[in-house]
Chain A
Amino acid sequence: MLNQIKLFAISLFAISMVLNSCTENTTDPNTNPEPKPTAISNLVATSASSSDVLLKFTASPSETNTLFKDYELVVTPGAFAPTTFPKGNNIVQVGGLQEGTEYTFSIVARYTNDSISTPVSIVWSPATRFETNNNDEVIRVYESSSDFGSGLRMFSPNDAAPRTYKVTSGSEWDLGIDTRNSKIVFGSASKIDYNYTGTPQATQIFESFFEADSLNGLFDSQAMNAGSRDSKFSERTFDLTTANPTKNYVFYVRKYEPSQVRYNYAKVMMIKNSSGVGFLQGPSGNRFIAFQISYQKTPDVPYAKVANNANSK
C-alpha cells in the first residue's frame, strides 16, 4: 500500500512537471512583439565576371521606417563574412567568388531593434566575360562575302578566348552568320548551309532572345534551363534581316564541349550598330557583327537556381 502511495505521488509529481514545461513552451509572454522589417522582393542576379556576381532587388518597404538599420548579405559556401549595406542600394556586386561554384546569396533587412526580415535567397555562379577575342580585339563575325570568318567559337580552349573562323575550319564553329541573298541570319552553325570543311559543333540556342543595354543589365531569377526552358533549347537560326533593334540582343546558348557530356552555358550578346540600323557595321565587303560573351567554363552550371525560400520572380 505504501509503495502504491509512493508511486502515485511520484506520478503526480512527474505529471505536474510535464504540464509545467508544456505551459512554458506554449505561452508567449511577449504580448507586444518587436516590429519586424518586411523582406526584399524580386531578387535577381547576373554574372559580371569569373569572380563577380551582381544582385538586384526591390527594396524592403520598411526602408521608410525609422527603425530601419541596413541590409545584411550572407554568401555560402566559403569563408565569407556577412556584409551589410545601407538602404538606397538595390544593386550589389559580390566579388571574390569562384567560377562554377553555385553560391547561395541571402539578404535580410534589419531594424535597429535587432529584428530581421525573412531572408530572400538566390543561387548563382559567376562566369567569364569576354569582350575581346583571341587577338585582344573586338569579337567580330563577318558577312558571308568577306574573306574573314563568318563563324564564332564561343570559347576556344587553345586560346582561352572566343575566336572567329572561316568555313575551312567548319568543325570549330558554334555559331555563325549568313548574309547571302540579302538576308541576315544568325544561329547554330549546324543550321547554316555553308560548304564547311568538317562538321560544326552542335550548339543549341534558347527559343527567345532578350534585349539589353549590356550583359550586366540582363538579370535573371532562374537558371537558363529551369523548368520548361530546358526543352526550348535547340539548334536553330534567327532571321534578323528586318530587325531594327533599340538595344542589343542576348541569346542563351549551350553546347557540349568536345569530350564533355554536360552542357556549357553562355549568354551571347549581339551588339547593335550604334550609328545605323540593325547589327551589321563596318565597310561594305567586310561588314561585321560585334559580340560580347558571358561563358560558364564549368559544365552543367546554368548560372542560377532559385532557392526554395526565395520569393523572387
Chain B
Amino acid sequence: MKTRIFGFLLLVAILFSAISTQESLAQKSTKPIKGQVVSFNDLVMGGKGTITKEQAKDLAEKGNPIVLKSGKTVYFVYNEDGSFAGKKLANYANNEFVGVVGKVKKVNGINIIIASMIESM
C-alpha cells in the first residue's frame, strides 16, 4: 500500500513538474514574431498597409491602429501595462522587418501580442 501511495505521489509530482516546465517555457519564449509594421485601416481598405515611419507616427497620433503583419496574420500589439503599443510600433515602420517578443493570445478571434520587447530585424 505504501509503495502504491508513494508511486502515485511520484507520478503527480512528475506530471506537475512537466506542466510547470511547459508553462514556464511558453512564458519565457524569446523567439520574436517577425513581421512588418502596417496600417490596419489600409489593410481593411484592401491595401498592403505599407507605411513610412512618419506616416505611421501621424496615424498613431490620430488614433488609427498600427499593427504587426506576420505572413497572413495580423497582430494587435499591446504593452505589458495593458496599453495599446501602436505608437511604439509606429517608430519601427521604416524597418523591413520587426520582431516582437511577448505572450501571444487570441481574444474573441483577435490576435494579440503582449510585447516585452520590440526590435528591428
Residues of A within 8 A of B (CB): 134-137, 140, 142, 146-149, 159, 163-164, 166, 282-286
Contact = CB atoms under 8 A, between A and B. Distances in A.
A283 B92 CA distance: 21
30 contacts: A134-B120, A135-B94, A135-B95, A135-B120, A137-B91, A137-B118, A140-B119, A142-B119, A146-B30, A147-B31, A147-B32, A147-B99, A147-B121, A148-B32, A148-B99, A148-B121, A149-B119, A149-B121, A163-B120, A164-B119, A164-B120, A283-B28, A283-B30, A283-B117, A284-B28, A285-B28, A285-B30, A286-B30, A286-B101, A286-B117
Given A135-B92, A135-B95, A147-B32, A166 B119 contact: no
Given A284-B30, A286-B30, A286-B101, A148 B94 contact: no
A166 B97 CA distance: 11
Interface of B: 28, 30-32, 34, 91-92, 94-95, 99, 101, 116-121
Contacts of B117: 282-283, 286
Nearest to A284: B30
A128 B101 CA distance: 31
Given A147-B99, A148-B32, A136 B91 contact: yes
A142 B31 CA distance: 13
A142 B101 CA distance: 14
A163 B121 CA distance: 11
Contact of A166 (B31, B92, B118, B121): B121
Nearest to A142: B119
A282 B28 CA distance: 12
Given A149-B121, A166-B121, A286-B101, A135 B30 contact: no
A283 B116 contact: yes
A136 B94 CA distance: 11
Contacts of B28: 283-285
A134 B94 contact: yes
Contacts of B32: 147-148
A159 B120 CA distance: 13
Contacts of B120: 134-135, 148-149, 163-164
A145 to B, nearest CB: 8
Nearest to A166: B121
A148 B119 contact: yes
Given A147-B32, A149-B121, A286-B30, A135 B116 contact: no
A147 B32 CA distance: 7
